[in-house]
Amino acid sequence: MFNTLTEELVVCGFNAVEALGQMHPERINRLFLREDRFPVFTRVCKGLAERRRPYKVCENEELERISKSYHHQGVVAMIQAPEQIPLEHDELDQWSAENLTGIVLDSVGNDHNLGAIIRSAAFFDAHFVVLSERDEASFLTTSAYRVAEGGMEYVEIRTVRNMVGFLRSAGKSMTVIGADPHSRLRIRDMKSLIPERKTGIALVVGNEEWGLDPDIKASCSILMRIPGIGALESLNVAQAATLFLHELYEL
């Protein structure tokens, strides 16, 4: 939920707010919490008091009203609305030089999928997530934060205006893997194709309905699929991303 008057975003859910308080407590403008959650957030509340920012102990009814959600899990933080940060060429060079793994989202368009993908990215040590400025999923919503379960605080989220141009640039110094259900190569072929991690890796996943755009596919170094029995064409994009990220983590 976005508050247009204060330009704040609601972050709710215990894991999401706890990670925010541990990693970026300075981003919290206001905090509302149940009494039983107070011991976990004592340090955050102390920091808010030192910055002369409010916190309040509330009952569930008030937390539901503030967050507009039943999924608050006893704590609600108000943060300044996250900005879309454009990717800089220097960052791409650094990611490649450090052999980092990341994920690129092409028209995923669903904030729940975005949150689930970011959760998996953080779990499997993927350093960056790249979004298109024109993709609705690039808006970091309350739902995305909650579903990410704290993962937002552990990945670098950047946006690009021209996704094809970005992938072509990335392919000069990184291995760009596209998830494509029609590819000849299977996900298990990854270890033989990339026996040693000598470059950064960018995994590209697309829209659940139409997959990767043809120009996006053409910009990938390798296309791979997740094999199944064929009853369904593909997995949910967040599930597919998780399987790919696990394989990349095991390289």
Which token pair is 193?
């194709």
Q: What digits encode the pLDDT tens for the residues 134-170?
A: 776 567 899 999 999 999 999 999 999 999 999 999 9
pLDDT tops 70 at residue 174: yes
pLDDT in tens, 84-106: 899 998 999 999 999 999 999 98
Average pLDDT over residues 59-72: 93
Q: What is the pLDDT of residue 38?
A: 95
Domain locations along the chain: 2-80, 89-250
- Say what the pTM is: 0.92
CA 7/CA 224 separation, integer angstroms: 41
Comparing C-alpha atoms, which of 137, 215, 140 is closest to residue 176? 215
> Residues 6 or more apart from 68 whose CB is under 8 A from it?
1, 10
Q: What is the predicted pLDDT for the residue at 211?
A: 81
Written out in words, the top-level CATH class of the domain with range 89-250 is alpha beta
Q: Which fold has domain 2-80?
A: 60s Ribosomal Protein L30; Chain: A; (3.30.1330)
* Burial (CB count within 10 angstroms: exposed 0-12, middle 13-18, buried 19+), residue 15: middle
Is 60 within 8 Å of 37 (Cβ atoms)?
no
> Helix (H, G, I), strand (E, B), or coil: what is residue 169?
helix
